[in-house]
């Protein structure tokens, strides 16, 4: 073969070799781009999923510093239920329903909202808010009663017995049993105690 034919043959081999190499490299680059695009797409989907999860969590109802807290105690020995409204403690602020249930597991969660949380608990005892209002020696005495109905003097009302109606004097001479501070305060008001 002459030099010219070898030269042309070399150019043809070089041309096809370069074309083959270029096509092969493009296919490799395309497949890498596809893998990279899949990774990016996957990361974007994961990011969207995470955002959705965050948005869903942000929508969960939580307590606030303004949430009203009601604590109900149900006393088994006397059958009374005493409900007290309390200021929500700081460790209870910004908690979800499940977090409240977990953190205060000895209480029953009766009601939960951002505005109001009601917790109740059964107490195997006497409520300690039993009173006896009775007239003794022309005075009205208020006694606090314990579980065995032992009485301890709480206060003496500044009321003139002789000016009360006959029915009230009879009631007071027999003694009026009172359950709870609110009921006691109402009776004191009725007798205009100072």
Give the model confidence (pLDDT) of 34-82 as tens digits.
555 454 445 444 544 443 333 334 568 999 999 999 999 998 888 888 8
In terms of DSSP bridges, do strands 108-112 and 151-157 run parallel, antiparallel, or are they unpaired? unpaired
Instruction: Categorize the per-residue pLDDT at 115 as very low, low, confident or very high, splitting at 50, 70 and 90.
Output: very high
Q: Using one digit for the tens of pLDDT, what is the confidence trace for 163-182?
A: 889 999 899 999 999 988 88
Asked if residues 82 and 75 have their Cβ atoms less than 8 Å apart, the reply is yes
Looking at residue 70, its pLDDT comes to: 94
Mean pLDDT value across residues 175-191: 88
Q: What is the DSSP string of 86-143?
A: EEPPGGGTT-BHHHHHHHTTTSEEEEE-SSEEEEEEEESS--S-EEEEEEETTEEEEE
- Tokens at 73, concatenated: 């105690």
32 pLDDT band, cuts 50/70/90, is low
68-123 maps to CATH 3.40.50.300:
no
What local confidence, expressed as pLDDT, does residue 190 receive? Answer: 85
Average pLDDT, whole number, for the chain? 80
% of residues, the chain, pLDDT over 70? 76
Q: Which helix (H) or strand (E) element contains residue 67? A: none
CA distance 107 to 12: 89
Contact 106, 78 (CB under 8 A): no
Q: Are strands 116-123 and 108-112 parallel, antiparallel or unpaired?
A: antiparallel
The token duo for 39 is: 């990774």
CA distance 181 to 142: 12
| Count of CB atoms situated within 10 Å of the CB of 81 | 14
**What gap in Å lies between CA 130 and CA 144, rounded to an integer?**
6
């Amino acid at each position: 073969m002459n030099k010219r034919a070898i030269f042309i043959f070399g150019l043809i081999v070089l041309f096809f070799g370069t074309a083959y190499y270029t096509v092969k490299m493009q296919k490799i680059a395309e497949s890498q781009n596809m893998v990279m695009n899949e990774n990016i797409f996957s990361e974007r989907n994961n990011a969207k999923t995470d955002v959705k999860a965050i948005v869903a969590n942000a929508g969960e109802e939580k307590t606030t510093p303004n949430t009203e807290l009601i604590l109900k105690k149900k006393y088994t020995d006397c059958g009374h239920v005493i409900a007290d409204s309390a200021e929500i403690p700081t460790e209870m602020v910004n908690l979800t329903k499940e977090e409240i249930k977990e953190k205060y597991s000895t209480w029953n969660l009766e009601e939960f909202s951002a505005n109001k949380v009601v917790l109740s608990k059964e107490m195997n005892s006497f409520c300690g808010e039993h009173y006896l209002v009775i007239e003794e020696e022309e005075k009205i005495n208020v006694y606090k009663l314990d579980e065995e109905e032992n009485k301890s003097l709480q206060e003496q009302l500044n009321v003139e017995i002789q000016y009360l109606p006959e029915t009230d004097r009879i009631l007071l001479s027999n003694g009026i049993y009172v359950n709870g501070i609110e009921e006691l305060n109402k009776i004191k008001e009725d007798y205009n105690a100072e």
